[in-house]
Structure 1
Amino acid sequence: MDMIAALANIVPASESAAEKQPSFILKMADETMLAYGTKHQLAAGPLDGFSARVDRHFAEHGDRPGILVGAIPFDPAHSAHLVQPARMLRVQGDHEVGGIPGLATASAPLMRVPVISVTPEPTADAFGEAVNAAIRALDDTSSGLHKLVLSRCLKVRAGRSFSAGELLRRLASDASASVFITALPDKDGKRILIGATPELLLDKRGHRIVSHPLAGSAPRSQDPAEDRAAGEHLLSSAKDQHEHSLVVQAIMDVLSPYCSELSAPGGTTLRATASLWHLGTRLVGRLRDPATSCAELAALLHPTPAVCGLPRQAAHAAIGALEPYDRDFYAGAVGWCDSSGDGRWFVSIRCAEIRGEEARLYAGAGIVPGSTAEGEIAETAAKFSAMLHAFGLEGEDVERRIG
């Protein structure tokens, strides 16, 4: 059954256009998930206790569909936003997003949104100063820091509301990423989080778990020889390999006590997105107890050193001191968990928060000994490119603004 036929079966023809719009979309290489409406919402609370609240939710709400979808914020003290949808559609295989009701059709031309302003927060210079402060903290052994991830933001204001369908179609052109849209709690109006993430936090099916952390990156080039050289240089970079190993080891340390087997069969390899090379290590494990839930493991893993730093508490405090905003759901996680304990969560990077005609785009970079302010400014500029392309924001003026 193709996606359009499946949607025709699940969405009653009598419903309004608004009711036919999915509030959650997660398009992966092997499956597309769409959620419609809200039957119940997960009780609010910090990440500590997340798994218990999920278990309690399913115990109290045993009706179908037995699944929660949504997003976890970066800050573990803040509340996740997960809902049990009124209807759930899961279509196996890879599909075009144009067949989804409420989104732009596959044949419709992509429209350019008239942009009024693009404002960096902080400026490139101020971000460089924050990176230098982080480097000084890393060099100070009394800080205890081994790695710190700092981000910056682009605030975009348009002449009309952004179209989620158009943005999703542009993002879906990168087959290496999992694209998503999820509704967020209202804040001065309705909000969504939209993005194209290459990073799998955790996939849990029965006994089997998979995590695919990314850390260490380099911009790609349109010239094939230069592009190949950039990838090879990243793979041989001692600094980037060190940064990557910190992340992988931290994730293995969390998962190992729950696993009878845990390994990285392919070792560390290059992972390519449309705009970046990444170092990635695919971890595969077998749980001692299949009753260990995806919600429990995801809560233990988040936030990983790929988006926060090491050690976690010290890095989190440093981020609060050096970044001029609350990350909210950026660098959190987006995904699902079900009543059987299975689920799949992706790190919410390469994303934007959209509220009407306003959007906030985010990019971050991992800082370790050997990092430079210039290098991290360039890395975040490269990471902005996927979202900037989706928003139709490219050219010398934008490049000058982001450094």
Structure 2
Amino acid sequence: MTRMHRANRADVPALAARAASVGASPVREILALTARPEVISFAGGLPAPELFDAEGIRAAYDQVLAEAPQRVLQYSTTEGDPALRGAVAARLGARGLPTDADDLLVTAGSQQGLALLATALLEPGDTVLVEDPTYLAALQCFGFTGARVLPVPSDEDGIDPAALEELVVRERPKLLYLIPNFQNPTGRTLPLARRQAVADVAARHGLWIVEDDPYGELRFDGEPVPWIASLEAAADRTVLLGSFSKIMAPGMRLGWLRAPEALRRACVIAKQAADLHSSTVDQAAAARYLADRDLDAHLHRVRDAYRLRRDALLAGLPAALPAGSAWNRPDGGMFLWVRLPDGFDATALLPVAVAHDVAYVPGAPFFAGPGDPATLRMSFTTHTPTEIAEGLRRLATALSTAPAAPAVR
């Protein structure tokens, strides 16, 4: 291109303000930095790939492609495969939440369900309440809508209902976003009494509850806690999101949304605009897998493996972390939450850890408000107990050699 032609070319229009204002996920960027096979990473919230039922999933694809190739390779309805919705409805009903297939919308993971809800519900300037800390991609999703995201004061049991009511009265939010079971990033579970209190606040003051539950079937200890969606006070204002990513395979990108009819219909229209429908063949294979295989037996094996890995991480933390550190003991899921002593900065220490071939996720980006620099998230699912022990040995070395760090006990 000649200099004259370059001089006559106008600049292209700028990106939308929301694209410039919402940053990339620190977790995804850390995963890219730690892709070297020698790194033992506690960073990613990934299922253990060696535990996938690859044989059963392959058989399901083979069967649907052999029996109905013209159907499963064709366009399909936005709402989703009727057999898959029926299977999900049956599983929900068996777990205490009566559901019809028509109550559900199949999505590309629960992440898309969250994006569809944001599209259907939120205007720029609307207020959204979240746990403190909360799921990073939810913060991204709400940020793209131009919503104002406020944290609800939270403790080891989740959000404080009294603080929630105070914020609801003062700020008039449109929705509250929660991960009640084995929360990302903290691993904590909201007790039933608090779930009931949340439902009552929503009923008294009028707001939507988005109950995201990708980890609920990964319980190792204790008894399941009823969904907020199953509580009478919130039944008409709670959206339940679920996913096959943590219980079957994330590469299939399948999840579902259960919502009251008017909101579900709005999400169907938003999905039509986004992608028309989720993959026909993937939905058909998932439905066949659920019909032919015992998902609960598979989950029993997965939970047993994850319990051992959680216990290995918990057993090794006292020797790996500085004196004065604290952490929780989740009853399931994929994560636990660590707080280093005051004065430590988990973000600043991460490059030191990666140099020792071990990684974690700093906790500060998970906060909607000011972050706590001493916090970090650790996932226990993708390494064996032996690998976890070695990763903790490396982490202890990294923390003990970090400049100006207090001594590791």
Q: Using structure 1 for the length normalisation, give the TM-score.
A: 0.24
Structure with bigger helix share is 2
Structure with higher Rg: it is: 2
Structure with bigger strand share is 1
